[in-house]
Chains A and B, each alone.
Chain A
Amino acid sequence: MTAAPAQSLEWKMPSTRKVAVISLILTESALFTIFLAAYCFYMGKSLNGPFPSQVLKFPLLATAALLSSSATVVLSEMALHRGNKGAFHLWWAVTIALGTYFLWFTGTEWNHLIFTDHLTLATNVFGTTFYSLVGLHASHVVIGLFLLTLVLVLSLLGKIPADHTEHIEMISWYWHFVDAIWVVVVTAVYIISTRF
């Protein structure tokens, strides 16, 4: 503006996409915190059964599937950065498959809980908080799977420009967030609350 000493020419701002997704993850975390707090607050406060210790089994395979899908999505991204489209599609599809398995597991688990154990949202406060917390997470898995599938389909159709790697990376960030939340949920629901 005025005759001032030369500033460093470097003026780099962070990417809008990254800041936006980090903010989104922050706000989603706040939402999960409240449902998690409700779950923890009501641990052991159900007036009638079924209780967590009677009906919940640790979902080993589903957890393994979801957590390893974080690894496969990283492999997929590394392939994308190398420019290896085939490997990118392959690992991306594996990620979708693992996520879908997780969702299928939740479906069968809920089916069993509802029709065999007779636990619904209205049975007791355990049912209320369990379905709302796990359901909130599952709904995020659904959103994540939708986004992942969208990318796969568009990429296979060749509709994703080559310079859109960061867009794809953002979806993987969201997926990592969904996985990370599961670690917290599974600890509270299937490890801590099964003592009640």
Chain B
Amino acid sequence: MNHDTPDENFQIPPPERIGEERGSLTRIVQEMVFTVDHKKLGLMYIASGLLFFVVSGLMAVVIRIQLSGPRNHFVDPDTFNRLFTMHGTAMVFLVGMPIIFGFANYLVPLMIGARDMAFPRMNAFGFWVFFFSGVLLYFSYLGAPGLYAAGSAPDIGWFAYSPLTAKAFSRGHSTDYWTLSLLLGGIGSIATSINIIVTVACLRCKGMILGRMPLFVWLFLVVAFMVIIAMPPLSACQIMLILDRYCGAHFFDTQAGGSAVLWQHFFWIFGHPEVYILILPGFAITSEVIPVFSRKPIFGYPVMVAASVMIAFISLGVWAHHMFTVGMSSITNTFFAISTLLVAIPTGIKIFNWLGTMYGGKLRFELPMLFCIGFLFQFLIAGLTGVMLAIAPFDWQLNNSYFVVAHFHYVLIGGLLYTIFAGIYYWYPKALGKMPDFKLGIWHLVLFTVGFHLTFLPQHVSGALGMPRRIYTYDAGRGWDLWNLLSSIGVIFQVAGILFFVFNLIYSYVKGKKAGDDPWDAWSLEWATSSPPPSYNFETIPEVRSRRPLWDLKHPDDPDWKYE
């Protein structure tokens, strides 16, 4: 890049010109609104993601209270519908997406030795568009009654199957809030993803050829490509839905020759790649954490890259496995069953490579590593139930049951959320300059793991016993009572775990011991700068000769580039 030397004429405006002195509330707000710094935006992404996580997590708590026993009347059916819709939508679009973009924003430029993202202002635009899409979605509780005084928050499920969204069945503006929020969020995601692609393609420091990029950067490059290809179908869905609802179009109107199944196809053309958009960042974090805490370079780097690209490619052709029960032809069912099973191959390669990295390594069981080990086991279970559900006849039996709910919560909590915890503990010292507290972290790990399995393991059973998802209550004596009760008890442990997590974040910031630049003795470039990094990231742009530039620096007698 051409700004290796800071402009001497550039002066930071004195703080008293706009806000009060540094640290005051107005000053902080002003900094947040005006900033185009990728690190601040990254932290803002993660912080707002965690905020929405708490809100939609509390919705899940209410759902579990309602389902804890048969014929429970904690909430009424309409509220229940809104709860699971908002919980699902928010967890995918307002928690998963912003947190992964937060990690990408914070770390990709640091890891490739750049001073910022390629388009810093577009980066800020992406964040604010996402943030307001979240506000818009939650505002539906107040705004959606609208002129018709009908409806509140959306109650159509997170995939909003037609004809539930038709004007006749969804009066008022609840569905419109959902539609516009997702349309807006999609624009923000695409802007951020284009930014990531351009940053990785154009801003790598000298010597950082593609084959030397950290796997984290590789995976986010793949994710960004998936977003720009898979997000427009969702936007197209939303545009069609608006046209149907407000201009009398017939895309999904079966009475006029339209097709409700078309919505399912279009939604899942987005929806299935979206699952991989969410889980590949989990792989990205794992691929950074496991080598560092095994004291070995990643096993099979080129194969890991190839497997990631393969997952992305296959994931674009598996969407209809969500639709085995709608009555497609056997050829279609077979095609999508086989393509879905194919995903297991690259994913299995990845799991074996992580194990291969750990094998024979000098393992250090720090918090990030422990969460990643949890991820390996839980994601394996998620993958196995995924393989089961990919087999069409099995899916005919269990589609839309709690078995599916258990499966994707093992993917998204056991898989993604555990790696997010690992990532937060791993890069916390870099971003805030303090070490996260180990004991509090262990409490978080143990309580959350117990709670997670207690909640979602029984749901495999209740699902296999025929309990459909999204029912607001059930009769006693169908064999579901015990499993639901266990599920609900698990939530208590999960909430306790999250409390420890949040407390740890605050406590360690205030009381934690200083981290230093490189507390984990790691090898990628973000650890070469100070903690927290200065706004320009690196005093001099580094030059890279191998996949582990910091190893080369620390071991000049035995550098990696001799062997790569």
Which residues of A are in contact with B by a Cβ distance under 8 Å? 1-4, 7, 11, 13-16, 19-20, 23-24, 26-28, 30-31, 33-35, 37-38, 41-42, 45-47, 120-122, 124-125, 128-129, 132
Name the one of A4, A14, A41, A121 contacting B248, with C-beta atoms under 8 angstroms.
Answer: A121
Question: A47 vs B255: C-alpha distance in the bound complex, in angstroms?
Answer: 9
Question: A41 vs B259: C-alpha distance in the bound complex, in angstroms?
Answer: 10
Q: Known: A46-B257, A128-B251. Is A14-B202 also a contact (CB below 8 A)?
A: yes
Whether B258 pairs with A23 at a CB distance below 8 angstroms is no
Whether A20 pairs with B198 at a CB distance below 8 angstroms is yes
Whether A34 pairs with B232 at a CB distance below 8 angstroms is yes
Q: Known: A121-B247, A128-B249. Is A30-B258 also a contact (CB below 8 A)?
A: no
Give 26 CB contacts A-B under 8 Å: A2-B552, A2-B556, A2-B559, A3-B556, A4-B561, A11-B206, A13-B201, A15-B202, A16-B118, A16-B202, A19-B197, A19-B201, A27-B228, A30-B229, A30-B231, A34-B269, A37-B266, A38-B251, A38-B262, A42-B257, A42-B258, A45-B257, A122-B247, A128-B249, A128-B250, A132-B249
Question: A186 vs B231: C-alpha distance in the bound complex, in angstroms?
Answer: 25
Please list the 6 inter-chain residue pairs (A to B) with the smallest Cβ-Cβ separation, ordered nearest first: A122-B248, A31-B232, A34-B236, A30-B232, A27-B228, A128-B249
Question: A77 vs B512: C-alpha distance in the bound complex, in angstroms?
Answer: 60
Q: In the complex, what residue of chain A is closest to B199 when comparing beta carbons?
A: A16
Whether B549 pairs with A128 at a CB distance below 8 angstroms is no
Question: A6 vs B190: C-alpha distance in the bound complex, in angstroms?
Answer: 39
Residue B553 at the A interface, CB < 8 A? Answer: yes
Instruction: Return A138 CB to nearest CB of chain B, in Å.
Output: 14
Instruction: Return A174 CB to nearest CB of chain B, in Å.
Output: 14
Whether A1 pairs with B545 at a CB distance below 8 angstroms is yes
Count of B residues near A, CB < 8 Å? 47
Residue B204 at the A interface, CB < 8 A? Answer: yes
Q: In the complex, what residue of chain A is closest to B236 when comparing beta carbons?
A: A34
Q: Give the most central of A20, A24, A124: most B CB within 10 Å.
A: A20
Q: Known: A1-B545, A16-B198, A122-B250. Is A27-B262 also a contact (CB below 8 A)?
A: no
Name the one of B204, B236, B256, B543 contacting A35, with C-beta atoms under 8 angstroms.
Answer: B236
Instruction: Return B356 CB to nearest CB of chain A, in Å.
Output: 28
Q: Known: A23-B194, A128-B243. Is A4-B559 also a contact (CB below 8 A)?
A: yes
Whether B239 pairs with A132 at a CB distance below 8 angstroms is yes
Residue B240 at the A interface, CB < 8 A? Answer: yes
Write out the residue numbers on chain B whose beta carbons fall within 8 Å of the beta carbon of A129: 251
Contact with A along B164-207 (1 / 0, CB 8 A): 00000000000000000000000000100110011001111011
Residue B542 at the A interface, CB < 8 A? Answer: yes
Whether A2 pairs with B194 at a CB distance below 8 angstroms is no
Write out the residue numbers on chain A whose beta carbons fall within 8 Å of the beta carbon of B247: 121-122
Name the one of A13, A27, A47 contacting B256, with C-beta atoms under 8 angstroms.
Answer: A47
Q: Known: A2-B552, A4-B561, A16-B198. Is A132-B243 also a contact (CB below 8 A)?
A: yes
Residue B449 at the A interface, CB < 8 A? Answer: no
Q: In the complex, what residue of chain A is closest to B207 when comparing beta carbons?
A: A7
Q: In the complex, what residue of chain B is closest to A34 when comparing beta carbons?
A: B236
Q: Give the most central of A11, A30, A37, A120: most B CB within 10 Å.
A: A30
Write out the residue numbers on chain A whose beta carbons fall within 8 Å of the beta carbon of B549: 1
Whether A27 pairs with B236 at a CB distance below 8 angstroms is no
Instruction: Return B332 CB to nearest CB of chain A, in Å.
Output: 14
Write out the residue numbers on chain B whose beta carbons fall within 8 Å of the beta carbon of A14: 201-202
Q: In the complex, what residue of chain B is closest to A129 when comparing beta carbons?
A: B251
Contact with A along B339-373 (1 / 0, CB 8 A): 00000000000000000000000000000000000
Interface residues of B in 231-286 (CB under 8 A from A): 231-233, 235-237, 239-240, 243, 247-251, 256-259, 262, 266, 269
Whether A27 pairs with B552 at a CB distance below 8 angstroms is no
Interface residues of B in 301-360 (CB under 8 A from A): none
Whether B240 pairs with A13 at a CB distance below 8 angstroms is no
Write out the residue numbers on chain A whose beta carbons fall within 8 Å of the beta carbon of B552: 1-2, 4
Residue B119 at the A interface, CB < 8 A? Answer: yes
Question: A20 vs B197: C-alpha distance in the bound complex, in angstroms?
Answer: 8
List 9 additional A-B contacts (Cβ < 8 Å) besides A24-B194, A122-B250: A13-B201, A13-B202, A16-B118, A20-B118, A27-B232, A31-B235, A47-B256, A47-B257, A122-B249
Question: A33 vs B316: C-alpha distance in the bound complex, in angstroms?
Answer: 14
Instruction: Return A127 CB to nearest CB of chain B, in Å.
Output: 8
Question: A27 vs B256: C-alpha distance in the bound complex, in angstroms?
Answer: 31
Write out the residue numbers on chain B whose beta carbons fall within 8 Å of the beta carbon of A19: 197-198, 201-202
Q: Give the most central of A16, A34, A129: most B CB within 10 Å.
A: A34
Question: A37 vs B319: C-alpha distance in the bound complex, in angstroms?
Answer: 15
Whether A1 pairs with B553 at a CB distance below 8 angstroms is yes
Write out the residue numbers on chain B whose beta carbons fall within 8 Å of the beta carbon of A27: 190, 194, 228-229, 231-232
